[in-house]
Chain A
Amino acid sequence: MNISLSITKNIHNWLFSIMPEGVASITEMVLIAVVYLAIFAVAGLYLVLLERRVAAWFQLRIGPNRVGYQGLLQTMADALKLVSKELTGTIKADKFLYNLAPYFVIVTSLMALALFPFTQEFQAFDINIGIFFLIAISSIGVIGILLGGWASNNKFAMIGAMRSGVQTISYELSVGLSLITMVLISGSLQLSEIVEVQKNGWLIVQGHVPAVIAFMIYMIAGTAETNRAPFDLVEAESELGAGFHTEYSGMKFAYFFLAEFINMFIIAAIATTIFFGGWLSPFGITESIPILGLFWFLGKTLVLIFLMMWFRWTFPRLRVDQLLTLEWKYLLPLNLLNIVLMALIVWLNLTIQF
């Protein structure tokens, strides 16, 4: 096994100096897992808060502002409430699959989270097939939703799950193809190398026209893949109750809910890494202070997340046929043409480099 765990060298050296090698490596893995779980929980909770504040802002309300300073502890309190709630279940449900479904969604989004280079050093799993691994992982997440919908033994949940399956399978194609367009110009699948390539200008600048088209397609398809409005047919309240998680309560519902927000973070983080230079600062202004990479990465990601929230509170929901028409008749052909255009630009050396 050749896993490069390059989070912080100091802790690594310290652990190996006080323990035998086998124990130290296992301790290190556990520590990293705990760190990522903490990131997962905190990021998820604060994204929920951000969403509520942004929604309130768009609708000229104030939003949660009572618990803690400016409502900063509101979602923590909500999480405590959800933990203390009773876990109800239906009698005729398939209990095993019903309980298993949330974990599929959670585990896949956690696995995807491990791949991102937050800074040059802060990356848990720098695999050489990076982007391809992300696409592979994201195709498994939908199984959790399908299972949850079917195992609840509820017609509305089932319809929600079927819609989600159709939607995710269709839009996965666009996400994959728009990422492949960018791989053409970066010449590598490894995320750390893609960031390295962008030291001569972010890829969205290097690839100009096709890169901008690829970015737009990616953001549309990414929003659809996370099942967020305007693509949230899966949990269309007016038609389906709450969709595939109608029968879930308490913490199990919270798993689905958190995973949705983490998936949004992942979509935005992929876009940051591939289009906007990851942890690189604009024009290399803070190159001498590597720790600021975290600031730049999170800053860019939060701007993209804000963009997705903007979509959510601006556009009305699509119908199923409109959703499928958009993907198969517009995005997919455009995407295929875009790949050819990008190949031409890379071949003729028309990229912009500083």
Chain B
Amino acid sequence: MEKIIFYILAIIIIVFAIASVTSRKMLRSVIYLLFVLCGIAGIYFLIDYNFLAAIQLTVYAGGIIVLIIFSVLLVHHIEMELEDIKTSKKILVGLASLLGLGVFLTTIYAYNFPVIENSNSIDMDTIGLGLLSYEAGGFILPFEVISVLLLAAMIGAIVIAKGTKIATSDKPKGKSLEKN
């Protein structure tokens, strides 16, 4: 049963991944990418890693894909199609992807995956305590670093959004440049 579901998910991921890079219409390839991400979330559900699956759905499917769709909606008209690429570029990109595939396959086949019997699904309490513990194996440092990074990004976004307003409201031009 699980094997069948895994193969169905794998086929979905592969087919839509290929479709998303070969499609000539921009929004369609975004939607194919969405299906790929949902398929990956499905695999996380299959291995009983519910938290990561929900994160995958919120961050990638709900956040990033919606942002991409937004930018496509703003800049792209429905009748536009992506240009055909030169043959030399196609060959170059093909070689690069083959190289990447080779690296991945050799790593996967060289590594000896240990099989874990009786895996338990991890509940939220364990994840939360793990994020906040400062003992060995705890994740407090990366957690804090990420929060600082997010704060910096937030301040940056506010500054960018406010930028023109400050420039127009101040009368002397030199001052506004300094502020920005």
Interface of B is mostly: helix
Within the assembled complex, what's the spacing in Å between the Cα atoms of A1 and B79?
Answer: 44
Within 8 A of B (CB), among A91-126: 92-94, 96-97, 100
Additional A-B contact list (6), CB under 8 Å, known A140-B62, A143-B69, A189-B124: A22-B1, A97-B31, A100-B31, A137-B57, A161-B73, A165-B69
- Quick check: which of B44-52, B92-100, B166-174 contacts chain A, the rest being far away? B44-52
A132 with B66: CB separation less than 8 A? no
Residues of A within 8 A of B34 (CB): 143
User: Are A133 and B54 touching (Cβ within 8 A)?
Assistant: yes
How many angstroms from the CA of A141 to the CA of B165 in the assembled complex? 34
CB-defined contacts of B69 to chain A, threshold 8 Å: 143, 146-147, 150, 165
Taking a contact as CB atoms closer than 8 A, the residue among A96, A139, A161 that contacts B61 in the complex is A139
Structural contact, A136 and B54, CB atoms closer than 8 A:
yes
Distance of A153 Cα from B66 Cα, bound (Å): 19
- Residues of A contacting B62 in the complex (Cβ-Cβ under 8 angstroms): 136, 139-140, 142
Q: Which of B28, B50, B73 contacts A158 (CB 8 A)?
A: B73
- 3 closest cross-chain pairs (CB), A and B: A139-B62, A136-B57, A136-B58
- What would be 27 A-B contacts, judged by CB atoms less than 8 Å apart? A1-B48, A2-B48, A25-B1, A92-B78, A97-B31, A100-B31, A128-B123, A129-B51, A129-B54, A132-B58, A133-B50, A136-B61, A139-B66, A143-B65, A143-B66, A143-B69, A146-B69, A146-B70, A147-B27, A149-B73, A150-B72, A150-B78, A151-B78, A161-B73, A165-B69, A169-B66, A189-B124
In the bound complex, CA of A149 to CA of B62 (Å):
17
Minimum Cβ distance to chain A for residue B78 (Å) = 5
Q: What is the CB-to-nearest-CB distance from A278 to chain B, in angstroms, rounded to a whole number? A: 20
CB within 8 Å for A2 and B121 given contacts A127-B50, A147-B27, A150-B73: yes
Q: Does A162 contact B (CB under 8 A)?
A: yes
Interface centre among A100, A135, A147 (most CB of B within 10 A): A147
Residue of A nearest to B52 (CB): A129
Q: Which residue of A lies closest to B120 (CB)?
A: A2
Chain B residues positioned under 8 Å from A22 (CB to CB):
1
Tell me, rounded to whole Å, the shortest Cβ–Cβ distance linking A348 to chain B.
Answer: 20
> Could you tell me which residues of chain B, from 67 to 115, have a CB within 8 Å of some CB in chain A?
69-70, 72-73, 78-79
Contact residues of B between 20 and 64, Cβ < 8 Å to A: 25, 27-28, 31, 34, 45-46, 48, 50-51, 54-55, 57-58, 61-63
Among B2, B27, B72, B73, contact of A1 (Cβ-Cβ < 8 Å): B2
The answer on a CB contact under 8 Å between A142 and B58 is: no
Q: Which residue in A97, A128, A136, A161 is a CB contact (below 8 Å) of B124?
A: A128
For B28, give its contact among A2, A96, A132 (CB under 8 Å): A96
Contact with B along A70-105 (1 / 0, CB 8 A): 000000000000000000000011101100100000
Whether A142 and B28, one on each chain, are in contact in the complex, defined by CB atoms closer than 8 angstroms, is: no
Check A140–B61 contact: CB distance below 8 A: yes
Q: Name, among A127, A136, A137, the residue most crowded by chain B CB atoms within 10 Å (CB to CB).
A: A136
Residues on A with C-beta less than 8 A from B31 are 97, 100, 147
